[in-house]
Structures are given as structure tokens and as C-alpha cells.
Amino acid sequence: MGEQHHAVAPRAATRPAPGPPRAPGERPEGAASRPQLVIGLAVVTVLVLGFLAFRSSFASDEPARLDEADAYLAAWGEGDFATMAAGVAQPPPEFTALHQQMLASLQVREAAYEAGEAEVDGDRATVPFTAELTLGGLGVWRYESALNLVRGDDGWKVDWTPATLHPDLQQGERFARTRTAPSRAAIVDRNGLPLADGTAPLIVGTTGPATPEQAAALGPLVEAGDTVGTQGLQARYNDVLSGEPSGQVQIIGASGVPEVVHVFPGADGEPLTTTIDPVVQAAAENAIAVASGPAAFVAIESDTGEVLAVGNSPSDGLNRPISGAYPPGSTFKVVTSNALLGVGVDPDVNVTCPATANGFGNYAGESFGTIPFREAFYRSCNTSFIIQTGLLPEGALEASAEQFGFNTPYDIGIDSVGGSFPSPESQAELLAASIGQGKVTASPLHMASVAAAIDDGHWRAPTLIHGDQAPERPAPVDLDPDVVADIDTMMHEVVTEGTGYNAEVAGRDVAGKTGTAEFGAEDPPETHAWFIGFSDGIAFACLVEGGGSGGSVAAPVAGRFVAALPAPPPPTTTTTGGDDG
């Protein structure tokens, strides 16, 4: 608005009224005080100017904010185009359409704008801002731009041009984007080779095209139609396997030649390295192929806890090996023996094995009279363990269970079940727990870790993922080496002299423990068949659901597994030559 000038009429000249006559040399009244008044005004002026300068200097240290700019950017982030247009000095007819074209063409899922410090020059101001746009299927794009504002009679308004959307955008131009999906990586075995089709399908999992809902849930790098993991390791490690898409943000003008204003470099997916050994996996699958019922098999490297094989038959949606929670039956006697030997019970001490004790009985009503404790172990005499457990100090059995990882949460890289040992609330619960019944449950995965602990002398939480991609595991638990040595010997005797003789393999070193675990409400109850053991550094657990006797049903499966494993190399020996004479 231009300045208006108005003519001013000249004032009539006036004179002061004449005063009384003065004597010669006499000053007019009040003349002596005028210099003091001038000095006083000068001082006041200096003080006022100094205060204003001080206040201006102080205020300049504070960020200059324009509420109108903040309100405009907030409305932009919410897509409130009506409020935005009301804050523009002269919004063009295509104002809303240009914003909508940007959102649609770039597939903006979220937008946020943060104002910087305003620079004010009279009736004009510039407010820099940072834009952060989440583009569906590409990720986050950040760029710097600025709002230009002008002050009029109704306050500050945005002086809008297409460059307000992006500094490089000019009249008549539009936004576009490109996107290239990355190559999905493979899930590989411990040797770096892709797992064969059909290997542990409930563990490896499945993939499929992402629905719009899945794409939204999986984050900004995924768009509908992308191949994503839907179950198992494929789902858990989808981000690793999927990689990052590549693409561009472009501005297209009348020539049709795109100007690239941002590049998403992208990256192919990274292979997920599992601990699966294809040879051991084949042996496990071969073993349970002859099981008399639904079966699970898990093999673990004893000195690392790495899962070498997971077998499940049939693959009917039930992940028995790692997600099944079963009473472990007499395989739990490894844990109970650790408690008993730990308080001083000698493997050779005589114990009684009656047909019944404290309401518990032996399988098929067996009774062996007075026998060494080691024989009670390899014959799997329930009543001997019931009687001996009654002599344990309070809490000793629970402490032993926790040495073998019961009640310890761990993450193998996929949802799994460990071992559960609830604190016994009665003597009957304690005695039932000592033979792996009552409220005690475990997965085949966990019972394989129990066998591995005896083979190695340390309990280790199992893992299915190798290297840096593996979830953090709890620290290994050291077991008493003398107790471990005794249980190791007794587990060998189970195979050579006891209930596990069907697991014996000529020329191979096999140790184990059978289990016949009651479940259900039938009378007599049904039983799961168990066998846990180790051979040449590989620990394993076999379960046949409702199979009956562990010795007659699960032990042969374990023997079949060991027989299919490559024979270990012969030990290296060193000889020292003697005198020729």
C-alpha cells in the first residue's frame, strides 16, 4: 500500500505576552535553568536508547518464531488443505490439487514439517523448514525448504508458489517416483548353502504377497504385493531377508524428462544362516520316517548348543519338536540323578526297587528288589527314584532342574517351548516331578539340551541361528564334573545293559535315557515314548506321541539316526620310537 501525503495549513504567527519591565542587564525570568534542562533530557535520551539497544541485543539471542508459519506447517502435516489455503495470501486455484498430486504420486503415508528460525525483514519473512515424508515402499525422504511470508492488514500470510512444496518444483511441473523391489535372500544351512526344499517347513516358514494391511504393519519399506515372510524364520527375519528397495523421487516438466531430486539406493536381502547341518537333518528325517506314530526329533551340537536337525512327522501344522510341551517321563531322571548325586548318593549304593512306593508304580509292574542306584537308573525304576527323592533337601530337585535350563526363557530365533518345572506344592507333586510327571513339561528341543549338558558338562540354551544374527542367549551353566561323569557312565549303561538297548549301534558310542511318559485321562493312561542321548558330540531327543514304551518305540528310532550319521574320524595317535637295540 502506497503512502498518502496531506497538505498542512501554515499556522498564524504568535508572540508571548509582554512581561514587566526589566532593569538593565537583568536576565529574563527562568533563563538560568534552561541549560540544566537540556542536559537532563540528553541523559534520559541516552539511557532510553541504551535500554532499547540492550533489549534488542537480548531478544536477538532467542529464536524468532512466527505462529502463522507453525500453524501452516502443522496443517500441512495433517493434510488440512482448507486451513492451509486460509493461511496463504493469494492461493491459486490448483493449490489443493498440487498437494494431492504430490501425496498420491509419491505414496506419502506420513508427513511432518518442522519450522526453523524466522528471518524478518520489514513486511516480509522467510521461515526455513525440514520436511520428512514417509513414502510407502521406499522409506523416509527428508529435504529442506522454506516458507515465504508477507505481512498485510490481516497479519502474516504465506506467499505461496510451487517451490513451497519443494525448492526445485516450478509452475506446470509434477512429482513422480520409481521403485525396484530387492532380491529376497535365501535361508541357508551352516555351510552357507540354501536349505533344500521341504527342510523343516514349519521352522523355515513360508512367504507370500503382502496384503495392504500387512504392508502397513511391516513398515515403510514394504508395499502391497511384495514377497514377505508369513510364518517361521521367513517371517521372523523378514527385514533381513527382504533387503531394501531402490527408487527415485522425480520432478517431471513439460519436456517429460525427469529431474531426480532424491535417490533411495536400496540393498538386496542378506542370507539368514541357520545352524542346520544337511547331513544330520537327513539322518533325523530318515529316522522318524519309520516311527509308529506322530514323531519329533531334535539334534544339537553338544559343545555349542547349535541345533543341527529338526524332524517332524507328519508336517501337519503341529511343530512338535520345538513347540510341543510334553511330560518328559523318565528322561527327567537325568535331572533327578544330578540332584541325588550332588548331595552324596553314590552310583553303587544299594537302593530298593519295589513294584510300588508312595502311590507310584513301575512300568508294567516291574520289581527288581535291592539293586545299585546305577542299575535303578539304567533299568528306569520309578520307585527307587521316588524313595530317594523323598530324602532330598528342600528345593534341591528344583535347583537341579534349573541347572538344566528349566524355567529359563531363551530365544532360538523362532517361537519355541523350553522346560517348565513349577515349584511343587505338595510332597506328591515333588515325587511325581522326580520321574518327569505331574506338572513338569518340556519340548523335545529342551530335552535334547539336557542330553547335551551331560555330554559337554555345561547346559547351554539351544539356538537355531548362527553368528551375529542369532538372538542373545543366557550364559552357559557349569555342572559338577564328577556328577556329570557318573551320569555319563550310567547313560552308556542304559544302552549297553538297560532299557535303551534298542538304540545300540555296532561300532558307535551311544549313551541315552528312555522315557515312558503318562498323559491323558485314560485308565490305564496312554504314554508318550521318549529317548534322549548323545553320540560323538551330537545330542538328540526323540519323541513318539502316544507311542507306548520309550525303550521299544523311541530307542530304535534313535539307533536308526545314529547309524545314518557319518562315522567320526579315528582318533589321531602319536607314537614314540624306542631304542633299536
How much is the CA Rg of the chain, to the nearest whole Å? 42
* Phi and psi, residue 491, nearest 5°: -70, -35
d(CA 561, CA 284): 6
Q: How many helices (H) does the chain have, and how many strands (E)?
A: 18, 25
Residue of 242, 330, 380, 434 marked catalytic? 330
**Residue 342: all three cell numbers together:** 550332588
Torsion of CA 185, 188, 192, 197, to 10 degrees: -110
Task: Verify whether residue 315 is a known catalytic residue.
Answer: no
Q: Pick from 95, 99, 98, 93: which is nearest to 79 by CA?
A: 99
Residue with cell 602319536: 574
User: Do the beta carbons of residue 242 and residue 184 sit within 8 Å?
Assistant: yes
Sequence letter at residue 469: Q
Sequence letter at residue 471: P
d(CA 162, CA 255): 18
**Count of other CB atoms within 10 angstroms of residue 197:** 7
Q: Pick from 365, 371, 462: which is nearest to 410 by CA?
A: 462
Contacts of 383 (CB under 8 A, 6+ apart): 352, 353, 354, 355, 356, 357, 360, 361, 362, 367
CA distance to 270, 320, 459, 528, per residue, from 326 (Å): 36, 9, 20, 8
For strand 272-273 and strand 187-188, is the pairing parallel, antiparallel, or unpaired? parallel
The DSSP string of 386-406 is HHHHTTSPTTHHHHHHHHTTT
In the three-class reduction of DSSP (H, G, I as helix; E, B as strand; rest coil), residue 370 is classed as strand
In the three-class reduction of DSSP (H, G, I as helix; E, B as strand; rest coil), residue 327 is classed as coil
Burial of 412 (0-12, 13-18, 19+ CB in 10 A): buried
Catalytic residues: 330
